[in-house]
Structure 1
Amino acid sequence: MSTAQDNLVAWLRDAHAMEKQAETMLKAQYERIKNYPDLKARIGQHLEETRQQAKSLETCLNQIGGGSSTIKDMAGKITAFGQGLSGLFVSDEIVKGSLASYTFEHFEIASYRILIAAAEFAGDRQTKAVCEGILKEEIAMAKWLEDNLSGVTEAFLTRAEADITAKR
């Protein structure tokens, strides 16, 4: 039988692997964006937030004796690398990347809401506070993407119709 603490540790490991995957995806996306400066800047900002989030989760895991999962982290990085490469072969990479980012942010939001509830149940106030801080950053990124999806799409379509490099 698993305890609330066992589940919290397992889910924190999953979140750490998720953030390492996000870091790989964001870095690949950031490096390829050329013609969308606002999107590039926001992704760069979120990339730094994501790196800090992974460190914060690792600290939580170390404090409760869970450590991070190297296997999950590597699997996440390999998946993210493949996702990053997939954008090289589509003409609407910037739009599909925005869609994927928006979707992934909502996956992260749900994950952190679960972690907050689990930390509360387990009586781990420090982990709860860390996850609440991360949740705020994920919500802010999802909101920024939501507010800018139309603009990115319109910029892509304008560039595509003018036969200007629109992909990235």
Structure 2
Amino acid sequence: MENQALSIMRPQVARIESYPEVARRLEQHIKETEGQIGRIDELLDQFGADSSTLKDFALSFSGSMAAMGHTIAGDEILKNSFANFAFENFEIAAYKSLLILAELGGHGNVTCARLANLKEEQAMAQWLDENVAAVTTRFASLKEDGRTAKA
């Protein structure tokens, strides 16, 4: 899931020209996501498991394709904002479920890493939610002025 998130965010941030605040927040969340992957890998090591390389590749590939699909849209920044908000909430639900499963399985000791990941996802979702109006207003302003509203 986190590798998929990276494959979505990295192409987006590389294309952003007119929305520096979005680029800065995505760059911050990319770093957070890399840290989340590290925490997950540590937990997998504790349990003698590893992530599925094939599954990671497939999810990363599908994330890249999703990100590329928006590049042809005139409102790419808006579509990316909506998709990112939806994906962050998907991650939030997944981490909440994992916390419950860990507790039910008697592994309450692994919740710290999951809680850290969950809090970062919640913060990103909140930022996206709070900035939808600003991004939409900037998009409309650029279009109205006849300037390109390139992501």
Shorter-chain TM range is over 0.9
Deviation at 1:55, TM superposition (A): 1.4
SS at match of 1:24: helix
Aligned partners of 2:22, 2:14: CA distance in 1, in Å?
12
Provide the TM-score with structure 1 as the length reference.
0.87
Aligned identity (percent) is: 38
Provide the TM-score with structure 2 as the length reference.
0.97
Give runs of ≥4 in structure 1 deviating > 6 Å. none
| Residues 24-81 of structure 1: per-residue CA shift (max 9 Å, x gap) | 1111111111110111100100010011101111111111012111111000111011
Aligned partners of 1:127, 1:32: CA distance in 2, in Å?
37
Unaligned runs of 5+ in 2: none
Q: Which residue of 2 aligns with 1:71?
A: 54
SS at match of 1:89: coil
Give the alignment of 1:100-115 within 5 angstroms.
100-115=83-98
Deviation at 1:122, TM superposition (A): 1.4
Unaligned runs of 5+ in 1: 1-17
Deviation at 1:83, TM superposition (A): 1.1
The count of aligned residue pairs is: 151
Q: Which residue of 2 aligns with 1:143?
A: 126
Match of 2:79 among 80, 96, 105: 96
Q: Which residue of 1 aligns with 2:15?
A: 32
Q: Which residue of 1 aligns with 2:103?
A: 120
Q: Which residue of 1 aligns with 2:38?
A: 55
- Where relative contact order (Cα < 8 A, 6+ residues apart) is larger, the structure is 2
Root-mean-square deviation (Å): 0.9
SS at match of 1:153: helix
| Residues 73-124 of structure 1: per-residue CA shift (max 9 Å, x gap) | 0001110111121122110000000000000000000000000111111122
Aligned partners of 2:59, 2:85: CA distance in 1, in Å?
18
Letter aligned with residue 105 of structure 2:
A
